[in-house]
Structure 1
Amino acid sequence: MKNEFSKLKRKIILQITLILLLTIIVGYFIYFALIDGVLQAPFANMFINFCEKVLQLDFYTAQNIYSSIFQLNKPLWLAIGFILLLLVIFYLALSRFTRYFNKISEGVDRLTEESEAEIQLPAELDFMEKKLNTVKSKLEKRAMDAKEAEQRKNDLVVYLAHDIKTPLTSVIGYLSLLDEASDMPMEQKEKYLKITLEKATRLEHLINEFFDITRFNLQSILLEKETINLNYMLMQMADEFYPLLAPNGKQAIVEVEEDLKIDADANKLARVFNNILKNAIAYSYENSIIEISGTRKNEQAIITFTNKGKIIPPQKLDMIFEKFYRLDTSRATQTGGAGLGLAIAKEIVHAHGGSISAESIDEKTVFTVTIPIHS
Structure 2
Amino acid sequence: MKNDHSALRRKIILQVVLIAILAPALWFLIQYLLIDGLFQAAFAEWFVHLCENLFKISYYDGVNMYQQLFRNNRGVWLSAGLIVVLLLVFYFVLSRMTRYFNEVSAGIDQLVDESGGEIVLSPEMDFIAAKLNEIKTKLDKRERDVKEAEQRKNDLVVDLAHDLRTPLTSVIGYLSLLDEAPDMPVEQKARYIGITLEKANRLEQLINEFFDITRFNLQSIVLEREKINLSFMLQQMADEFYPLAAPAGKQVTVNAPEDLSIWGDADKLARVFNNLLKNAISYSFDHTTIEIEAIQRDEIIEVSITNQGNPIPAQKLNQVFEKFFRLDEARSSHSGGAGLGLAIAREIVTAHGGAISAQSDEHATIFRVSLPVQTPANS
Same fold per superposition (TM over 0.5): yes
Partner of 1:277: 277
Deviations 1:58-85 (A, max 9, x none): 1121111111111111111111111112
Structure 2 residue ranges without an equivalent (≥5): none
Give the TM-score, by structure 2 length. 0.96
Q: How far is the alpha carbon of 1:33 from its aligned partner?
A: 1.2
Distance 2:3 2:31 in 1: 42
User: CA 1:56–1:2 in structure 2 vs 1: closer, same or farther (change >3 Å)?
Assistant: farther
Look up the equivalent residue of 2:25 and give its one-letter code: I
Check the 8 A contact 1:228/1:261 in 2, yes or no. yes
Distance 1:34 1:113 in 2: 54
Partner of 1:133: 133
Distance 1:332 1:126 in 2: 52
Check the 8 A contact 1:329/1:336 in 2, yes or no. no
Check the 8 A contact 2:48/2:66 in 1, yes or no. yes
Partner of 1:16: 16
Q: How far is the alpha carbon of 1:14 from its aligned partner?
A: 2.2
Partner of 1:263: 263
* Mapping 1:164-243, distance limit 5 Å: 164-243=164-243
Q: How far is the alpha carbon of 1:238 from its aligned partner?
A: 0.3
Distance 1:120 1:202 in 2: 56
Distance 2:327 2:288 in 1: 20
Across the two proteins, how many residue pairs are aligned to each other? 375
Distance 2:38 2:118 in 1: 56
Partner of 1:5: 5
Look up the equivalent residue of 2:171 and give its one-letter code: V
Structure 2 SS opposite 1:4: coil
Distance 2:333 2:104 in 1: 52
Moved more, 114-123 or 189-198: 114-123
Partner of 1:50: 50
Deviations 1:147-170 (A, max 9, x none): 000000000000000000000000
Distance 1:114 1:188 in 2: 65
Look up the equivalent residue of 1:122 and give its one-letter code: S
Instruction: Say if 2:161 is the partner of 1:161.
Output: yes
Distance 1:360 1:259 in 2: 30
Deviations 1:122-160 (A, max 9, x none): 111111111101000000000000000000000000000
Check the 8 A contact 1:264/1:352 in 2, yes or no. yes
Distance 1:238 1:333 in 2: 26
* Mapping 1:115-134, distance limit 5 Å: 115-134=115-134
Partner of 1:329: 329
Partner of 1:63: 63
Structure 1 residue ranges without an equivalent (≥5): none
Check the 8 A contact 1:327/1:336 in 2, yes or no. no
Partner of 2:76: 76
Partner of 2:32: 32
Check the 8 A contact 1:354/1:370 in 2, yes or no. yes
Structure 1 SS opposite 2:328: coil
Structure 2 SS opposite 1:61: helix
Instruction: Say if 2:322 is the partner of 1:295.
Output: no
Distance 1:246 1:258 in 2: 25
Distance 1:250 1:232 in 2: 21
Distance 1:316 1:174 in 2: 41
Q: How far is the alpha carbon of 1:309 from its aligned partner?
A: 0.1
Look up the equivalent residue of 2:123 and give its one-letter code: A
User: Identity across aligned pairs (percent)?
Assistant: 59
Structure 1 SS opposite 2:334: coil
Q: How far is the alpha carbon of 1:362 from its aligned partner?
A: 2.2
Deviations 1:97-144 (A, max 9, x none): 211111111111111344443211111111111110100000000000
Distance 1:234 1:282 in 2: 18
Look up the equivalent residue of 2:339 and give its one-letter code: G
Give the TM-score, by structure 1 length. 0.97
Partner of 1:306: 306
Q: How far is the alpha carbon of 1:332 from its aligned partner?
A: 1.7
Partner of 1:361: 361
Structure 2 SS opposite 1:70: helix
Distance 2:3 2:105 in 1: 22
Q: Aligned-residue CA RMSD in angstroms? A: 1.4
